[in-house]
Amino acid sequence: MPAEQKPEIASVWTRPSRRREQLSREQIVAEAVRLLDADGIEALSMRKLGTRLDAGATSLYRHVANKDELIELVVDEVYGELTVPTAAGPEEWRDAAARSAYSLRAMILRHPWVASVLGQVGLVHLGPNVTKMSERMAAVYRTAGFREAETELALSTVISYVIGMATSEAAYLSLIARSGRTEREFAETLRGNGAAEGDGGGSGDPRTEDPEKVREETFDYGLQRVLDGLRARLDSTAP
């Protein structure tokens, strides 16, 4: 008798999308991203999403089994926004790595909720965009000359830096949005408080004149130092 076959583990990625129905999985995911961008992860529920789509939660469950699956889908959706250039040779790896890091930062700033749910995405059922972009990023580090055992470690080091910095930036920008001020106005208020304590005021201070540029320069400084460390590691292990 043939050996009993084990049932396959169900996954949202292996179930076909019900395209003939009035409500599609793509519509659900797009609206979920809009909800998350507007109100944050705490606001996400199948009931609220159904209301926004003018459909009952039951209709949503025909396409998405639960909230965990929905999170997998929305994370994969925003990962598709990443730009990961290829590195044709070892001399191009650093530029490609930096551009990939900037793309990831920009995506997190557009969707600040994503950093808090990355750890919830199952490692077994990775979506096509997460899989594709992760492989492209890993290829950059392999091209640099990292040994296979270190490729993922090098990539994880950079990603951890980006997520940490971008999450802090996103929290700061959310605070500004709640204040009803622009970023420059908010920075001027902070500098004004400092001036009252005798620090000389904020006149001519780049932190108030172009705070977005200051954030970018701060991010880039840290990123370049991380890449410096990886470059030194490559040099130390070169044959």
C-alpha–C-alpha distance, residues 41 and 78, integer Å: 14
- Please name the residues in contact with 63: beta carbons below 8 A apart, sequence gap of 6 or more: 17, 18, 23, 24, 25, 28
Nearest Cα to Cα of residue 182 among 193, 173, 171: 173
Q: Looking at per-residue confidence, does 10 or 25 come out higher? A: 25
Structure pTM? Answer: 0.82
Identify the band that residue 15 occupies on the pLDDT scale cut at 50, 70 and 90.
Answer: low
10, amino acid identity: A
Share of the chain above pLDDT 90, in %: 60
26-to-2, 58, 151 alpha-carbon distances in Å? 40, 17, 33
C-alpha–C-alpha distance, residues 233 and 211, integer Å: 34
pLDDT mean over 18-34: 83
pLDDT mean over 147-174: 93
Best-predicted range by mean pLDDT (56-60, 88-92, 98-102, 174-178): 98-102
Identify the band that residue 196 occupies on the pLDDT scale cut at 50, 70 and 90.
Answer: very low
pLDDT mean over 2-28: 64
According to the model, what pLDDT value does residue 223 have? 98
According to the model, what pLDDT value does residue 197 have? 47
According to the model, what pLDDT value does residue 202 have? 45
Tokens at residue 61, please? Answer: 């469950």
Q: Looking at per-residue confidence, does 124 or 81 come out higher? A: 81
Q: What is the dihedral of CA 202, 205, 206, 209, to 10 degrees?
A: 50
Tokens at residue 19, please? Answer: 């395209």
Average pLDDT across the chain, whole number: 86
C-alpha–C-alpha distance, residues 195 and 82, integer Å: 41
According to the model, what pLDDT value does residue 111 have? 95
Report whether pLDDT(80) > 60: yes
Identify the band that residue 20 occupies on the pLDDT scale cut at 50, 70 and 90.
Answer: very low
**Over the stretch 116-152, which tens digit does the pLDDT of each residue have?**
887 666 545 678 999 999 999 999 999 999 999 899 9
According to the model, what pLDDT value does residue 141 have? 97
Q: Measured in whole angstroms, how far is the alpha carbon of residue 167 from the centre of its chain? A: 9
According to the model, what pLDDT value does residue 125 have? 61
pLDDT mean over 187-215: 69
Identify the band that residue 57 occupies on the pLDDT scale cut at 50, 70 and 90.
Answer: confident
Report whether 135 contacts 193 (CB < 8 A): no
C-alpha–C-alpha distance, residues 137 and 101, integer Å: 9
C-alpha–C-alpha distance, residues 63 and 210, integer Å: 45
